Amino acid sequence: MKYALVLLFTGIALMLSAQPVIGERAVATAGTVYGYHDVPWVTMPLPGGENAKWDLSGLPNGSLVAYRWTTTDIAPGAGAFPTAALVLQVPGEPTAYYQRGDTALFWLGTYTENALVRFDPPLAILDLPCGLYSAWRDTGLAVVTGAGRIDLRVTTISARADAWGTLVMPYGVVKDVLRVRHELRVTPRNDPDQVLLSEVRLAWYSDRTPMPLLVVIERTGWEPAHTLRWLDGSWQDDPASVFRPIALRAFPDPCDDVTYIDLPATKADRTVLQLVDGSGQVRKQWPVEFNSPQTRRLTLEMNDVPSGHYTLTWIGTDGTLGNARLQKR
């Protein structure tokens, strides 16, 4: 009987030790770029609990979206945030500001050309360390500045690491994955029962990379209503190397109604080129599929683009990224 009890407790200890704990590596570093596959929304079973198995091996490639971590030295709206903040820039989304604390990764706020949002106090977006059944709740006053006025909104985040198990992705199997469920709720300062915005976000983490392997988002009151993105499998090798941008050149620069850009021949079979403005918003996009190896030159029509300074972001095959600065007269 004593031997059986020893085996039982040993088995329990081994099972608990296999559960992932997300710690220091959950915080990205400035200068790194990660590629996410943005795919059409689909409803699928996503069970919780222990030893879960999530089979998403059939997800399509979709379009590749660059998640770029940078610093306040070059980010838009940086003057409103601490100089030590980490900045995440994603095309088509507000520039987001974060800061590493002793016990959590904190969300400081966001910036677009139309609005500045700062949380007072900052909101804990991820407890550190975070293991199965870790749970936290944080509330802050969102100070929204834009259009010549200031609006105050109460923002609440409730989160719980509700599952761990095996994630089956298009590139292979990832074991010991921790899922965190976030609920975001935004209400007027004087009416807590009126929900202006809400979001449920499921994120799957591995202790081998700071970025979630899979993100599933459902929103009410703001767009997009649904988001499904998965991290490109090259993170298993060296994502900092695979997704390091290469320099490109657009010509003429400055341009008027037309500009041209040459792409590397070996990485340009299926190409998406995005024109990103100073606030991180995608102003225009050119999806192109080359049918022959003879030409890798794109002609970009700019007649419908306002004057200003832009970044051309190129997303080629195998997660290759390229950047070029461009001025439209």
The predicted structure's pLDDT at residue 5:
39
Region 60-82: what's the mean pLDDT?
85
Residue 163 has pLDDT above 70, yes or no: yes
The CATH H-level superfamily of 245-328 is Immunoglobulins (2.60.40.10)
**In contact, 92 and 275? CB cutoff 8 Å:** no
The predicted structure's pLDDT at residue 65:
81
> CA of 222: how far to CAs of 87, 212, 218, in Å?
22, 22, 10
Per-residue pLDDT tens digits for 93-131: 999 999 999 999 999 999 998 899 999 999 999 999 999
Residue 47 has pLDDT above 50, yes or no: yes
| Torsion region of 151: left, alpha or beta (phi above 0 gives left; psi -120 to 50 gives alpha) | beta
Entry pTM: 0.75
Question: Per-domain residue ranges for the chain?
Answer: 19-241, 245-328
Residue 318 has pLDDT above 70, yes or no: no
Q: How far apart are CA 243 and CA 164, in angstroms?
A: 28
Q: Give the residue with greater pLDDT, 293 vs 193.
A: 193
Q: Side chain identity at 285, as an amino acid letter? A: Q
